[in-house]
Amino acid sequence: MMTTDPADNPQVAQVAEGLWVRVEVDTIGWIDMGEWAVVIDTHESRSIKDDLFAAIAETIGDKPVRTVINTHTHYDHVRLNRAFQKKYDSEIVNQKTTTIPPDGLWIDGSKRRLLVQPMVGCHTDKDCVIWLPDCKVLFIGDIFGWGLINLMGRLTERSARDILAAHDKTMAIGAETIVPGHGPMCTNAELARWVEYFKWLHGEVLAAMDAGKKDKDIMRDVAPPADMHDWWRFVQWKHEHSVDRMIKAIRKGWREFPS
Ligand SMILES: [Zn+2]
């Protein structure tokens, strides 16, 4: 089966009233807040700038983009920040530019409000998720990576505990539509499935190692679960990447999966 890859064909989709996303290799969102708009994440490439500004103008008209929010400040989420500052004098909000309290920062418009909520321990120590309670849409940046273990730091029992806590906290928000930083949109069901996969992967790799298998045999034998075959770029490389990370983490001493 050929699965469609959004990176091959950028799509602008209306997710809710006054809320659009441009799904490609990096996803950008924009939201009509009333008299002005908010943009979430600004891609890795300047080459899409004209296309993006045109798409925003076509959907929300000439309302200014007052605020740009970055889920985190990796290059592939911030590249066009300066272009927005130049065009709209936008304020840039992320965990480096702005002090965001643990309970989050509300941004209020006349039409709706949104919450910028720190969500650390899963990717970097400076991630935020952005919650739109009126339409139950949640932007989660790189908290979820369609099968990837997205943690930037070392994978240990302790960091795994933080990853799981961040997933619990994210799923408890109550989103109906989840917009990851890369790849197609999803729901809590995919986040829950990834948590299950993460636990399963740890168990499989640990058992294989205890049975004396060599790393290359574990790489070959731990197959991607069938129900995840259509996950974005999962069988192409992400599963293999995850198995490799799990092997390294367990070889370095991670034995107990956090309960
Ligand atoms: Zn990132």
Residue 142 CA to ligand 1 centre (angstroms) = 5
Q: Is the pLDDT of residue 61 over 80?
A: yes
Q: Is the pLDDT of residue 145 over 80?
A: yes
Residue 120 CA to ligand 1 centre (angstroms) = 12
Residue 7 CA to ligand 1 centre (angstroms) = 17
Q: Is the pLDDT of residue 5 over 80?
A: no
Burial of 25 (0-12, 13-18, 19+ CB in 10 A): middle
Residue 180 CA to ligand 1 centre (angstroms) = 11
Burial of 252 (0-12, 13-18, 19+ CB in 10 A): exposed
Which of 33, 20, 24 lies closest to 59, judged by CA? Answer: 20
Q: Is the pLDDT of residue 95 over 60?
A: yes
Residue 2, pLDDT score: 43
Each residue's pLDDT tens digit, 179-219: 999 999 999 999 999 999 999 999 999 999 999 999 999 99
Residue 159 CA to ligand 1 centre (angstroms) = 17
Residue 69 CA to ligand 1 centre (angstroms) = 14
Residue 40 CA to ligand 1 centre (angstroms) = 14
Domains contained in the chain, CATH given: 6-187 (3.60.15.10)
Q: What are phi and psi of 157, to 5 degrees?
A: -60, -40
The mean pLDDT value for 112-121 works out to 97
Residue 90, pLDDT score: 98
